[in-house]
Chain A
Amino acid sequence: MKPFRKGEGGPLAQGRLETRIGDKKPLYTDGEAAAEASRCIYCVDAPCIEACPTGIDIPTFIRKIATDNVRGAARTILADNLLGYSCGRSCPVEVLCAGACVYNHWGRPAIEIGRLQRYATETALSRDPALLAKTRKPPTGKRIALVGAGPASLACAGHLALDGHEAVIFEKKSIPGGLNTLGIAPYKLQADDAMAEIQFVLGLGDIELKTGMSVVAGEPSGEGEISADSLLRDYDAVFVGLGLGPDRTLGVPGEEGPGVYGATWLIEQIKTNPEFSLEGVRRPVVVGGGNTAIDIARELAKLGLGEVTMVYRGAAEAMSGYAHEMEGARLDGVRLLERRQPVAIERDGAELRGISVAPVVDGTADAARGETLGCDLVALAIGQARLTDLAKAFDGVDLDERGRVLVDDATCRTGHPRVYAGGDCVNGGKEVVNAAQHGKLAARDITAVLAASS
């Protein structure tokens, strides 16, 4: 969203592959937005609000668009979700707000809530980037450290700043934003627009972003590292938004070597690395059946890399990826090969030649009936490792059996009274909007606790 602050898109270079992919749902014109907003019947106790993880008062913001009160619409959205802009573009509205719209049961097209939300936030913040900053409370002198600069931490820092606190975000990568800049499918949201939203959040108040800074469990081994202990010592509270770790691997022969990539790594290259090239790729294969698998498959298809094949172990109906996304993938030219288990990567020397897949019968791969799919790229979208070991560096913080940080649902507080956590490291990997909600809940509780103690 160029708009927020022109020329301050952050450290993103030109020529990134994602910029070759068009915007699936472009910004509405004023007339289009007014017409769509006027379709909304302004329900009371609306199901769309209930379906929004951040509880945005959707009918009210839509009515405000219809009455030409676009800034008011943006205020309504941002009050509940500071990342309302990126969520408007990246949320799977088909299974959230729009999926709950009363029109669905009525046989009419649901209101385009995501597009209206994008219209309101993008239009209002372009006109008035300081829309919310003006409402900031006086400084409290309290300082909060945030680990990771993904959506959960950004939302948390923004709310904390509006409450008058100082927020310091430590991000180990050079590019902030986490999933928003590095992972959202480019036809929904591109990295420079995500960066513009980050600029908006950073402008909400006293927020310092320290990139290239890792928080470590033990003693720091040099510059660029800071210990978890020092955060507890130097700050009034700590928010942990670690996200997820590296892509998981298959553990099959031939996997190591060129041409086989983790899906989130590959998406990050497509979105942010101008040097990264997929020149010559003609037959990519994606392994997995979740939303990351569908995303990378669609991106490869939209980049024109020939026929993209998705290999999924179970039946199509059992995929964890959204049906509407898979439908879109098919339209983009993605072929789904269901009930197939990769058993080996075939190479000619170092060069990738194909992937051997075996049919899965009753949950078991039948290696004897394996076949080889010729391919020149394999993207593995079979989950991500946990990064939550660091969380244990804080006394009292516990993980569940799946490695997720345990928090109180209402406050996102961990077992340590001054340590909070949210986002993927807590929920195991969900949407930006779920992370934004965690950040908001934590900020509210931090403000309440700090106010009570001072």
Chain B
Amino acid sequence: MADLSVDFCGVRSPNPFWLASAPPTNTGDQVRRAFDAGWGGAVWKTLGNPIVNVSSRFGGVDYGGGRLMGLNNIELITDRPIEENLREMREVKKNYPDNVLVASLMVETYEEWKEIIRRAEDTGCDALELNFGCPHGMCERGMGSAVGSEPKVLREITGWVMEHATTPVIVKLTPNIGDITEPAEAAMAAGAPAVSLINTIKSIIGVDLDTMVPTPQVGGASTNGGYCGPAVKPIALHLLGQVARMPNVVPISGIGGVSNWRDAAEFMALGATTVQVCTAVMHYGFRIVEDMIEGLSDFLDDQGYGSAQELVGRAVPQYKDWGDLDLNHHAVASIDPDKCIGCQLCYVACLDGSHQCIHIPGMSDEEKRARGHVAFPAHVPDRPVTAAGGTPGARVPYVHEEECVGCNLCELVCPVDGCITMVEKRRGPQVDTWADWAGRGEDLRPGSLDATRKARGK
């Protein structure tokens, strides 16, 4: 059994699964129940100066009949008295000494920061997380993402915190910025021993077309909120990867759409030491952590990792700039005639959405030209669909390999497991990148259309 515990800038966590600072960590009772369910750590709902919250607060995006592909919220930091929060934090930490308790903080002035750090650390919490990410409400008051999107301000405030903090400081970064490495750089320059990302993405979830009010509606109006949930995972992974490959990067807590063990493993492979979860818990409850622990543990065992820590950053070296990708890598689509059910989705995707290289048998060149094909294979084999569940009378589409650019689109739209695969057909044995071309002064190849025509002999 792989060791799931991780060291996060000196803080030992029983597993990499933390709850993000959000509604699920609003009270001591919730955090206790989460720890009982198996969560390794929790970042408490952000403490700060008193605020009030509006009603309603959340909006969701459904996809394909499923709920909450994405969630948007306009809730602010904790609206409970700070004394209550601090008392409950102290009690939780006392009763769960092995679980990680992180205080999330957001205030304005130097004096306020100094004071809240003292009070938060007095609870026995293991670390502080600076909320420089909240993209709604608080940023209008000069806090949250207003700080996170100004690297200079972020650096200054982080500096204040570093003066007074005795526990590790995690700077939570906002994705609402052009280049995530700038605030990350600022946080590290100020001496922060860790960062977490991403906070939510500025969003308007939708518009009610009957009332002409964006959602969620509050008294006949709405405001922009913060977007999270499975939909934001690819964005979070990108920003995580950007930070993870910075030189001398500090430990990272990854956030953004983590819903199951596989998501968590991907975040860890791209550089996160711990992951923080919110939306999936808001949807299904604390119980989902059992699957996360079990799935990650099995995965680590299968792959021969001795510990979760060994997984951290494994995929980072393989995340490269476009200019460093091998231009000699080439793949072509291959359709398994024994699996094809004849839906022709690959055909239309290639014809209208890509490079017109998939053909339906039995058409004359004239018909093909009318449909939109521009290149015509000498022979298109006529293969009837034979797969179980196939459409009677349908034909297996044919890939004109010479024209296939290896884009993967047909594979992505094919509804049958393993029916379309991409077969590697290298253009040359050696690795040859755009950066190599530029190095040789060959990075300009004008007149691509002319060149193509010439190559086809027309």
Contact = CB atoms under 8 A, between A and B. Distances in A.
Interface of A: 29-32, 38, 42, 44, 60, 63-64, 67-69, 71-72, 75
Given A60-B290, A72-B295, 6 more contacts: A31-B416, A32-B417, A42-B284, A67-B261, A69-B298, A72-B294
A44 B285 contact: yes
B417 A69 contact: no
A60 B292 CA distance: 12
A30 B287 CA distance: 24
List 9 tightest A-B contacts by C-beta distance, closest first: A31-B417, A67-B260, A69-B295, A72-B294, A29-B417, A64-B291, A69-B291, A71-B298, A42-B284
B109 to A, nearest CB: 44
B66 interface: yes
Given A31-B417, A60-B287, A63-B288, A72 B298 contact: yes
Contacts of A64: 291, 294-295
B262 interface: yes
A7 B260 CA distance: 37
Contact of B262 (A32, A42, A63, A67): A67
Contact of B295 (A31, A38, A68): A68
Contacts of A60: 287, 290-291
Range class of the B interface residue count? 10 to 19
Nearest to A131: B298
Interface in B24-60: none
B291 A72 contact: yes
Given A60-B291, A75-B294, A69 B284 contact: no
Contact of A63 (B66, B291, B298, B417): B291
A29 B415 CA distance: 12
Contacts of A30: 417
B57 to A, nearest CB: 22
Interface string B282-326: 001101101100110010000000000000000000000000000
Contacts of B416: 31
Q: Which of A29, A30, A44, A69 has the most CB of B within 10 A?
A: A69
Nearest to B416: A31
Contact of B261 (A32, A44, A69): A69
A64 B294 CA distance: 10
B287 A67 contact: no
B65 to A, nearest CB: 8
A67 B291 contact: yes
B417 A38 contact: no
A126 to B, nearest CB: 15
A60 B284 CA distance: 11
9 contacts: A31-B415, A31-B416, A31-B417, A60-B291, A67-B261, A69-B298, A72-B291, A72-B295, A75-B294
A67 B66 CA distance: 15
A38 B416 CA distance: 16
A31 B259 CA distance: 19
A63 B291 CA distance: 8
Nearest to B285: A44
A30 B418 CA distance: 10
Interface string B184-219: 000000000000000000000000000000000000
